[in-house]
Chains A and B, each alone.
Chain A
Amino acid sequence: MSIATEAGRRRERARNGWLLASPALLLLLFAASGPLLIVAVYSFLTPGDYGNVVWDFSADGWFRVFLERDIFDGTVSAADAHLTIFWRSLKLSLATTAITFALGLPTAWFIATRPPRERAMWLFLITIPFWTNLLIRTFAIMEVIRNEGILNNVLIGLGIIDTPLQIVFTETAVLIGMAYVYLPLMVLPLFAAIDRFDFKLIEAGYDLYASRWRVLRRVILPIIKPGIVAGSILVFVPSLGAYVTPRVLGGGKQMMIGNFIELQFGQGRNWPLGAALSMLLLFIVMVALLIYVRSTTREAPHG
């Protein structure tokens, strides 16, 4: 009898589990999987004359992601303009990740080595930028780096340069903006990793004839690697799909994938191409996440 009630209780618990999870499952179904499915389907349809799609199957959207057909003689060639945009996106995202890591590691290290009470304050300061709208922060950066901005005025005032540096509307401007916007996303996971790091290991490495540089490379970096990978993903993924920063600081000249996708759904009136580009972006992000999962599970076979 007690066995029967035990089994019954277990069934009931399983049922309750599904019931409790249902809001989350419904959300995943309608807010994540559903729209994604629509995008996937749209990428195989024919563009309508005034935007939207016509329900005729066509692989043209995918075809035009990488290739273009000459209007006059119909020859097929690589879509150079598209490839330039992809390359710029990848290059700027990787550079943003590298810059935020270079700035974020010392910052996170600094915070993790403060006394606990001070630490909370520093972390709080790191999160302050999140309080302001991204657009406003981007315009603030603009105010700093534009030709008549603070940076140029100071440099000219000090007599270091004669004519203002053209930073705005260049790739450098986009890079500065993205590094600024995504830096906290790098610092926080790095801090979490360094906070768990046993600082005695530095002494152990140093004691065992490792130089400072080798202690960093052979002891510290491998151990905080999960934090490095997490921070890199958190910065790389949104950088790749960045829209506001390249739009404002690149001035429409330094287009990235995000802007390009928007263009297809707006002026371009080619929804299938936009949908195909979105799927491509999703695919790149998935590859990045896969690398992340691989590297973290391989490092810790035990717990």
Chain B
Amino acid sequence: MSDDIAVEARNTVKVYGAGDSAVRALDDVSVTIRKGEFFTLLGPSGCGKTTLLRCIAGFETPTSGEILLSGRDITADPPNKRPVNTVFQSYALFPHLSVARNIGFGLEMMGRAKGDVARTVEKMLALVKLEAFADRKPQQLSGGQQQRVALARALAPEPEVLLLDEPLSALDLKLRKEMQSELKRLQTETGITFVFVTHDQEEALTMSDRIGVMRSGKLLQVGGPREIYNHPVNRFVADFIGETNFLTAKAEGGGFVLASGDRVEAPGERANAGEMTLAVRPEQVRIEAEGAPGAMHATVTETTYFGTDTYCHVRLADGTVIVARLQSPPSGDVGLAPGARVGVRFAEGAVQVLGD
């Protein structure tokens, strides 16, 4: 059972400072990361995702709790004794060494034979398509190329786990998209477990097998991209990942009644009968003709054209604003002018009941 677990954090706590100014960067985090998985730690800056990564790498020692690698407790091991490598946000390439020497550094330090190191470096250069740059110095390369060297350097010693600390944040959008698929390809080809840290929810959704969402040192939810997106456990996760309409509602007879008085059907159990928060993704909101059967009455307040999509803001009877994301028609004009009276409906199964 534990054979397929690469990394496990058990009740990991990391406190910086002491007394009143103490900060709990990690607040009792427990998570298991499976072998060969692309696992992403997602959250806003300061949520503790990088601290957790640094605890796995060995740069930080947890205040309490354990870090296990393939079931072995490595909490007390220094970074050079852990079969784990890191791709740093700033790449941290050695400026005095050539690209080839950078990539071979880890193997050299492990005491591998010269020919062995040279062969692996060749292989790595081919893997990241930088064969022509072996003798260059890092500062002679572009940002994207430096990124690839950093990846090759961290992959060369064949670590059990590769840690990536926001490695794409310094790249421009186009290069970032390219590197996203590149990373995914490298992960599939090498079969190495990737633990990836990012604050970019889109990056997390497109690349990961599973995502762990963090906030204020706590791990809020762990799950696949679809699960996280479609079934967020709370308002924070729903808000952080994608856009969401939040609606206040009261449970009533198997459904909900919104503040506007409109009735909404939603699956799932409802434990308390008081006020609850419902979440609906904008792309799940349908705009129909006014008075369509089962549709809520609303007024268009604003439409914004975004190319493939058009965002339409509508106001319910009580003033609640709902955002709908509609596909732009070929003409580009959805024909919804501010002030138009429309009917609004939520797609089947679109309404999520949030925990808090």
Within 8 A of A (CB), among B110-129: 110
A219 to B153, CA, bound (A): 15
Do A214 and B109 form a contact, CB below 8 Å, given A302-B137, A302-B139? yes
- The segment out of B92-100, B174-182, B246-254 that lies at the interface is B92-100
Residues in B with CB closer than 8 Å to A302 are: 137, 139-140
Contact with A along B323-348 (1 / 0, CB 8 A): 00000000000000000000000000
B85: CB under 8 A from chain A? Answer: yes
- The segment out of A47-55, A117-125, A198-206 that lies at the interface is A198-206
Do A223 and B109 form a contact, CB below 8 Å, given A206-B78, A208-B153, A208-B157? no
Residues in B with CB closer than 8 Å to A222 are: 96
Interface size on B, residues (CB 8 A): 26
A198 to B92, CA, bound (A): 8
Residues in A with CB closer than 8 Å to B88 are: 200, 203-204
Within 8 A of A (CB), among B39-71: 57-59
Within 8 A of B (CB), among A254-291: none
Q: Are A200 and B139 interface neighbours, CB within 8 A?
A: no
Which one of B90, B96, B110, B154 has the highest number of Cβ atoms from chain A below 10 Å of its Cβ?
B96
Q: With both chains docked as a complex, state the minimum distance between the C-beta of A206 and any C-beta of chain B, in angstroms.
A: 5
Residues in B with CB closer than 8 Å to A200 are: 88, 90, 92
Interface size on A, residues (CB 8 A): 22
Q: Are B80 and A206 interface neighbours, CB within 8 A?
A: yes
Partner of B57, one of A201, A207, A301: A207
Contact with B along A192-216 (1 / 0, CB 8 A): 0000001011011111111100100
Residues in A with CB closer than 8 Å to B139 are: 302-303
Residues in B with CB closer than 8 Å to A303 are: 139
Q: Are A205 and B105 interface neighbours, CB within 8 A?
A: yes
B191: CB under 8 A from chain A? Answer: no
B224: CB under 8 A from chain A? Answer: no
B86: CB under 8 A from chain A? Answer: yes
Residues in B with CB closer than 8 Å to A208 are: 80, 85, 105-106, 109, 153-154, 157
A148: CB under 8 A from chain B? Answer: no
**Between-chain CB contacts (< 8 Å), 11 pairs:** A205-B109, A206-B59, A206-B80, A207-B58, A207-B154, A208-B80, A209-B106, A209-B110, A219-B94, A222-B96, A299-B96
Top 8 nearest A-B pairs by Cβ distance?
A208-B106, A204-B92, A200-B92, A209-B109, A210-B109, A222-B96, A206-B79, A209-B80
